Amino acid sequence: MAGESRASPAFSDREREAMRERAKEAREFKKLPGEEQVQRKIAEMTGNDKKLALGIHALVMGISPEITTKTWYGMPAYCVNDKVICFYQAGSKFDSRYSTFGFQESAQLDEGALWPTSYAITDLTEEVAKKITGLVKKAITEH
């Protein structure tokens, strides 16, 4: 009914913070080169989040010269033809027990009727690096 309030807010504090990050990017960060945007975000991270971000950044940027960077909702993101194909989300961003490496729709990693769009990541092992490399290479070939 009109005038009734919801029992819970529409967005969590973390979601509102992500929206503020996005607005800040639109105003300030977008004036910086993409690589500088990403390096500043990684520099703000600590502990395992930062270790993973640095390793993933080096890994993804070494896959292809077609890949460019920028921040996306305050996260390091990797693009092909100015479209975000993948991103790293630090666990601390939403108080999660793990970080994630995710893919956007433009990556076109479709496999039948069900496929993962993000992966929990706690360590950048050789096996994890191979999996990320294969998925990013597949995403690039779809463009």
Domain definitions of the chain by residue range = 40-141
> How many other β-carbons are positioned within 10 Å of the β-carbon of residue 36?
14
Q: What is the pTM of this model?
A: 0.81
At 10-64, the pLDDT tens digits run 888 888 888 888 787 777 767 889 999 999 999 999 999 999 999 999 999 999 9
| The listed CATH number (3.30.2300, 1.20.1250, 3.40.50, 3.90.1150) that belongs to domain 40-141 | 3.90.1150
At 121-136, the pLDDT tens digits run 999 999 999 999 999 9
> How many other β-carbons are positioned within 10 Å of the β-carbon of residue 71?
23
Residue that has been written with the tokens 């463009």 in this structure: 143
